[in-house]
């Protein structure tokens, strides 16, 4: 059966997650703690590697925002006090 490019995209866009979210959390945790790299964690926990990388990037952005917020809060307290 031949599928056009748009049909392939629609089929791919509707794919269901076929992994347990617990395994994804464990995979991300193992990468964060340095036990594995994303490729190893993806193979070990049978979750998509790119999803692990995306979650790590999201965590990194959030942690940087928290650090900036703390730094800015400390500077404003020092200047007012």
Which residue ranges of the chain lie beneath pLDDT 70?
1-15, 75-81
Whether CATH 3.40.50 fits 18-80: no
Domain boundaries, the chain: 18-80
What pLDDT is recorded for position 30?
95
pLDDT (tens digit per residue) in 63-77: 777 777 777 777 666
Please state the pTM of the whole predicted model.
Answer: 0.64
Position 54 scores a pLDDT of: 95
The alpha carbon dihedral of 19, 20, 23, 25 has a sign of: positive
């Amino acid at each position: 059966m031949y599928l056009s490019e748009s049909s392939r995209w629609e089929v791919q866009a509707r794919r269901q997650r076929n992994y347990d979210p617990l395994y994804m959390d464990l995979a991300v945790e193992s990468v964060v703690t340095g036990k594995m790299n994303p490729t190893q964690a993806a193979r070990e926990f049978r979750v998509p590697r790119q999803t692990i990388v995306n979650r790590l990037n999201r965590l990194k952005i959030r942690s940087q925002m928290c650090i900036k917020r703390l730094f800015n809060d400390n500077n404003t307290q020092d200047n007012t006090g």
